[in-house]
């Protein structure tokens, strides 16, 4: 994968380099070649932590009566004419296309957060485009076919106490919501976010929301409830455009 990051330090896999995409900035269609149906990561957002490599695929449909010779995809943050992050392939051979006049092309991306995402501002809405070249030399390039989100991975914990507890007594449920910081490669509290406290009765498979509380200035969350029956307590965060949803593993409380 080839990366371009405007204003970011050049190191490792990340480099300020000339792109191998077609030179013109504007969309171009020459002849009967068409590109459509671009899908990033099977339609899901891409969540990246602090050190883990994340691999995902981008697929699209390309067609031409002469057959398709090659394809390419583009992912970028900002605008096409002035992106602050741009990902594509080093060469068309890194995108595989099936054979025929209407084909499916697949590009594979591997994101290394230390090199490819070194500013938190890169989280949020990204754009995608695709390019296809026909066997007879005709081509189509569309640069703004849709959007998806690249997000800072999040984590959520929970602890319900005391355990066990007498029926009618107070249970205190604490937790913490954190998310990846791409600038120092650590996890920090996500502040001022609504988090749902949920309960699943023993023997049930369904959680129900009891109340919603906000994280404090360190990402901590705390709520109190009255003990009534055995079950599991957890916190659930629905996510934002820059941060994916997160849920804690339920903490069982025995009510006596």
pLDDT tens digits for 97-119? 999 999 999 999 999 999 999 89
Under 8 Å between Cβ of 229 and 201: yes
Q: Selecting from 2.60.40.10, 3.20.20.220, 3.40.50.300, 2.60.40.730, what CATH number does the domain 154-253 have? A: 2.60.40.730
pLDDT digits (tens, 9 = 90+) for 126-160: 999 999 999 999 999 999 999 999 999 999 999 99
- The overall average pLDDT reported for the chain is 91
SS3 annotation, the chain:
CEEEECCCCCECCECCCCCCCCCCCCCEEECCCEEEEEEEHHHCCEEECCCCCEEEEEEEEEECCCCEEEEEEEEEEECCCCEEEEEECCCHHHEEECCCCEEEEEEEEEECHHHHCCCHHHCEEEEEEEEEEECCCCEEEEEEEEEEEEEECEEECCEEECCCECCCCEEEEEEEEEEEECCCCEEEECCCCEEEEEEEECCCCCCEEEEEEECCCCCEEEEEEECCCCEEEEEEECCCCCCCCEECCCEEECEC
117 beta partners: none
pLDDT digits (tens, 9 = 90+) for 201-237: 999 999 999 999 999 999 999 999 999 999 999 999 9
Q: What's the rounded Cα separation, in Å, for the pair 60 and 143?
A: 13
CATH C-level class of 2-151: mainly beta
Inform me whether the pLDDT recorded for 2 exceeds 90: no
Q: What's the rounded Cα separation, in Å, for the pair 235 and 238?
A: 10
Q: In residues, how long is the chain? A: 256
Q: What's the rounded Cα separation, in Å, for the pair 168 and 256?
A: 9
In the chain, ranges of CATH 2.60.40.730 domains: 154-253
User: Is the whole model's pTM more than 0.75, yes or no?
Assistant: yes
Q: What's the rounded Cα separation, in Å, for the pair 216 and 221?
A: 6
111 beta partners: 54
Whole-angstrom CA distances from 43 to 28, 106, 187, 188, 239 are: 25, 14, 26, 28, 16
237 beta partners: 246
Q: What's the rounded Cα separation, in Å, for the pair 28 and 141?
A: 5
- The rounded percent of the chain whose pLDDT value lies above 90 is 86
Position 21 scores a pLDDT of 44
pLDDT digits (tens, 9 = 90+) for 21-47: 444 467 999 999 999 999 999 999 999
Q: What's the rounded Cα separation, in Å, for the pair 161 and 170?
A: 9
Inform me whether the pLDDT recorded for 11 exceeds 60: no
């Amino acid at each position: 994968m080839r990366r371009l990051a405007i204003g970011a330090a050049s190191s490792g896999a990340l480099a300020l380099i000339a792109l191998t995409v077609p030179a013109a900035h504007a969309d171009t269609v020459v002849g009967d070649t068409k590109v459509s149906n671009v899908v990033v990561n099977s339609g899901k957002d891409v969540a990246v932590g602090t050190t883990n490599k994340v691999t995902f695929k981008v697929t699209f449909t390309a067609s031409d009566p002469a057959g398709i010779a090659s394809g390419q995809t583009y992912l970028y943050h900002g605008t096409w004419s002035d992106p602050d992050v741009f990902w594509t392939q080093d060469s068309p051979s890194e995108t595989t296309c099936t054979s025929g006049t209407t084909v499916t092309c697949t590009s594979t991306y591997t994101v290394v957060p230390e090199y490819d995402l070194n500013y938190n501002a890169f989280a949020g809405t990204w754009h995608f485009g695709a390019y296809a070249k026909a066997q007879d030399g005709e081509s189509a390039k569309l640069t703004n076919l849709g959007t998806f989100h690249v997000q800072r991975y999040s984590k959520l914990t929970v602890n319900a106490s005391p355990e066990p507890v007498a029926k009618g007594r107070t249970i205190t449920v604490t937790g913490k919501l954190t998310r990846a910081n791409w600038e120092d490669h650590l996890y920090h509290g996500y502040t001022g976010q609504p988090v749902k406290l949920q309960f699943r009765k023993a023997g049930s498979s369904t959680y129900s929301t009891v109340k919603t509380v906000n994280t404090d200035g360190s990402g901590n969350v705390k709520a109190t409830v009255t003990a009534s029956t055995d079950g599991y307590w957890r916190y659930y965060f629905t996510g934002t455009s820059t941060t994916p949803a997160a849920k804690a593993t339920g903490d069982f409380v025995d009510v006596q």
